[in-house]
Structure 1
Amino acid sequence: MRVAIVAESFLPNVNGVSNSVLRILEHLYRTGQGAIVIAPGARENQEEVPDYLGFPIVRVPTVKVPLIDSLPVGVPTLAVDEALREFKPDIIHLASPFVLGAAGAFAARQLRIPCVAVYQTDIAGFATKYHLSALAYGAWEWMRTIHNSCQMTLAPSSMTIHSLEDHRIKNVRHWGRGVDAQRFQPAKRSEALRLSWDPTGKKKIIGFVGRLAAEKGVHRLSGLNGRDDLQLVIVGDGPERPLLEAQLPDAIFVGALGGEELAQAYASLDVFVHAGEFETFCQAIQEAQASGVPTIGPRAGGPIDLIEEGHNGLLLDVDTFVEDLPFAVDAILDPEIYRELCINARASIFDKTWDALCQQLMGYYREVVEEANRVPLTILGQHPELPRWAARALGARVA
C-alpha cells in the first residue's frame, strides 16, 4: 500500500502529531509499504530533514500564528497537489488537519483518492485559551468541513468521539496512541538522577513532561508550591517557560529530553501530573504509566480514558485542580496503596503498543480503500455536503 501523509506538524518540531506520524512511518517501513510526507518547513534556527527512513518529505512554507508559538502552520502551495499526483497514493492520511490538511482533503477529492483524517488537536480549545475568539468561533465549522470530506475520521478517546459526533462529524472510529513499552519501563528508574534533583534523598519527586505552552495548564502545579517533602520537576521547553519559572519557584526545570534521558526521567518520578484540559489523548500520561508511575490528570478529554481512579491514578476537576492537587498527591503516595498503583500503571499499557495500533490503522486503511473501490468518489466541488464557501476557500471550482 502507498500512503501519503499530510501532517499539520512534523520534524524538526516534536509533539504528539509528529510522534504518531513517525511511528506510522516506522511501521510502513518494517512492512514494506510506500510512503511520502507533506509537512510544514522548519522555522528559524531549525534544521530540516529531507527524508525519514528513506521516505521523502515534501515541505511547504511555515508561518507563525500570533501568540501560539507551539502551533506553527504550513501554508498550502501547489507542491501539495503536485506531490500527490506524482506519488499516486492508494490512500491519503491527514494528521491533525486544519490548514495544510485542508489542502490535502481538497486534493484527495480532486484526485479521487480515499482519505482518512486523524483528529489530534483541539483547535477550538486552543483558540479559546489564547483568546482568539474569531478562530474559536469558526473552528468547528471548518473542522466539520474537512473531516466530512474524508471517508473516515479517527479519534483517540471516547470524549473526543462524542465531541466530534456532537459537532456533526460523521463516520468517527476509535484509534488511540501506542506506547513504546521497551523504552518506557520501571527498570529505567535512576537513583543517581533522583539525587541530582533532591540531594537529601528524602523528598518525593512529582513531575510533568511536555511542551511548556499555555494549553498544557502547567501553572496549575502551583498547588504544590512550598512543600518541603516534595520536589517538583518539569521536563520540557516552550514559550511559557519564563512565566512558569516565576509561578513555580521551587521547581527544577530540566529542559526538553529525548530517548533514554526521557525514559529515565519518567521512571524516576514518584507521581506524574498533567493539568491541561485540551488533550484529545495525552501520550505523556501513557508514557508515565508505562514507566510504572501513578498519574494525576484533569477530568476532561483524553485522560478520562487513560486514568482509572483509584487503580492507576486520580482525576481532578479542572476548576478546582490547584486546590485539590496536594490532597491527590498525598492520597497516591499513601504507603498502603502506592506500590499497587505503580503495578497497575504499568499493567494498564500492555495492550497499547504501537505495533498493535498501527495494525489497527492498516485495517482502517483497507476498509476505506475497499469502500472507495465499491462507491466512486466525488470531486470536492460537487460534494453535496460541502458548503460553497468552504469549497471556494479550498480552491475548488463551483458553479
Structure 2
Amino acid sequence: MRVPLSLSEFLHRAADLTLVPSAAIARDLQEAKVTSANKIRLWNKGVDSESFHPRYRSHEMRLRLSNGEPEKPLIIHVGRVGVEKSLDFLKSVMDRLPEARIAFIGDGPYREELEKLFRGMPAVFTGMLQGEELSEAYASGDVFVMPSESETLGLVVLEAMSSGIPVVGARAGGIPDIIPAEQEGKTGFLFTPGDTEDCMRKLVPLLENKELRETIGKAAREEMENYDWKAATKTIRNEQYEAAIWFWRKKRAEALGPLQWLTERLFPSPAINFR
C-alpha cells in the first residue's frame, strides 16, 4: 500500500534520520524527494541465527517435504503465497527439472490457484509452519528459490542463508542488498527476474553438485552471522543513533540561530572593564 506523498513527506521531513531496509527503497525515497539523500541510511534488519541454523536439518522433515523421496533434489520456498510473489514462475522451472521436488511452506490467498497450477507435479504444500518445524523446513532443503520481484528486505532469504542452504533469488527489490554483486557465486546467486534460462543456469549446478551446495551454504551461513540481531542492534546504537543526534543538533542550531541573533541585538551584553 502506498502512503500518500504528503503524509510521507511530513513524516520523513520531521525525522532526523530515515532508516530503510534496502537500497531500492532508498532510491524510491530519493526520487520522491521526501527527504534529503544524506538523511537516508540503509539498515538491514537482523535474522535469528540461532533459530535458523544448519543443525535443524532433519531426515523426517525432508521425507515430508519431498513426499517420501528424500534422495531427490529438493527446492524449497518459504513465504506468503500471494500472486505478487511470482510463484507461478516456479512452474516453468519445475517443468525443466523432472527429477526435482519442490515444497511451498506458507499460506495465502493464491494457494488454491497455485496448487491447481502444480497439480500432477511433485510439489508439496505444507501451509504455515512455525517454531522448530519451520527451522527444520529451511535446513532440510537443497536450494531456496525466491522469484519475487517485490521483496523490500527478503527476510526469508536471510533465514534460508542462516540455515545454511544456497539461495537463488531474483535480482530485484532488497535481495541484491543481501547478495551483492561481489558476493554472487560465493554466498548465493541472482537471476534476471522472469528469466527462466538465467534461473536454470544458477540453479541446476547447485542441484547436481553436493559439494558446491555445501560450499555456498557454509559461506552463506558465515555471512549471515553479520546479520544477526546483535549485530543489527549494534549498528543502530553505534552508528545510526549517532547520525540522528548529529542531524538533530544541526537542525536545532539552524532554528535557534535567528533567535540568538535577535536576542543579542535587543539585549546586548554589557561591556566589562577589567581595569
- Which structure carries more strand by proportion? 1
SS at 2:69 equivalent: coil
Tell me how far apart the structure 1 counterparts of residues 113 and 78 of structure 2 sit (CA, whole Å). Answer: 17
Q: 1:269-301: per-residue Cα shift (whole Å, max 9, x none)? A: 100011111112101001100111100111112
One-letter amino acid of the structure 2 residue matched with residue 305 of structure 1: D
| 2:107–2:128 CA contact under 8 A, matched in 1 | yes
Aligned to 2:115: 245
Quote the offset at 1:149 in angstroms.
2.8
CA distance in 2 between counterparts of 1:204 and 1:140 reads 47
1:305 and 2:177 matched:
yes
2:203 and 2:176 map into 1 onto residues whose CA distance is 18
Q: Which amino acid aligns with 1:339?
A: E
Gaps of 5+ in 2: 254-275
Greater Rg over alpha carbons, structure: 2
Aligned counterparts, 1:203-218, within 5 A: 203-218=72-87
**Structure 1 position 142, deviation (Å):** 4.8
Q: In the aligned structure 1, how far is the partner of 2:41 from the partner of 2:138?
A: 30
Alignment of structure 1 residues 1-399 onto 2, 5 Å:
123-124=1-2, 139=4, 142-168=7-33, 169-170=35-36, 171-198=39-66, 199-226=68-95, 227-249=97-119, 250=121, 251-307=123-179, 308-320=183-195, 322-335=196-209, 337-363=212-238, 364-365=240-241, 367-368=243-244, 371-372=247-248, 375-376=251-252
Q: TM-score, normalised by structure 2?
A: 0.79
Indicate how the Cα distance of structure 1 residues 304 and 370 shifts in structure 2: closer, same or farther if over 3 A, else same: closer
Identity fraction in percent: 32
Indicate conservation of the 8 Å contact 1:202/1:229, yes or no: no
Matched residues in 1 for 2:204 and 2:6: separation?
43
Higher helix share: 2
Kindly state the Cα deviation for residue 240 of structure 1 after the two structures are TM-superposed.
1.1
**What secondary structure is seen at the aligned counterpart in 2 of 1:293?**
coil
Q: Aligned AA for 2:186?
A: H
Pairwise CA distance, 1:371: 5.0
Which shifted more, 357-366 or 264-273? Answer: 357-366
* Cα deviation, residue 243, structure 1: 1.3
Count of matched residue positions in the alignment of Structure 1 and Structure 2:
242
1:142 to 1:245, Cα distance in 2 relative to 1, 3 A: farther
CA offset digits 1:52-111 (Å, max 9, x no partner):
xxxxxxxxxxxxxxxxxxxxxxxxxxxxxxxxxxxxxxxxxxxxxxxxxxxxxxxxxxxx
Counterpart contact for 2:165–2:214, Cα < 8 Å: no
Distance in 2 of aligned mates of 1:367 and 1:208? 37
State the distance in 2 between where 1:218 and 1:256 align: 16
**What is the TM-score of this pair, normalised by structure 1?**
0.56
| d(CA) in 2 for partners of 1:210, 1:165 | 29
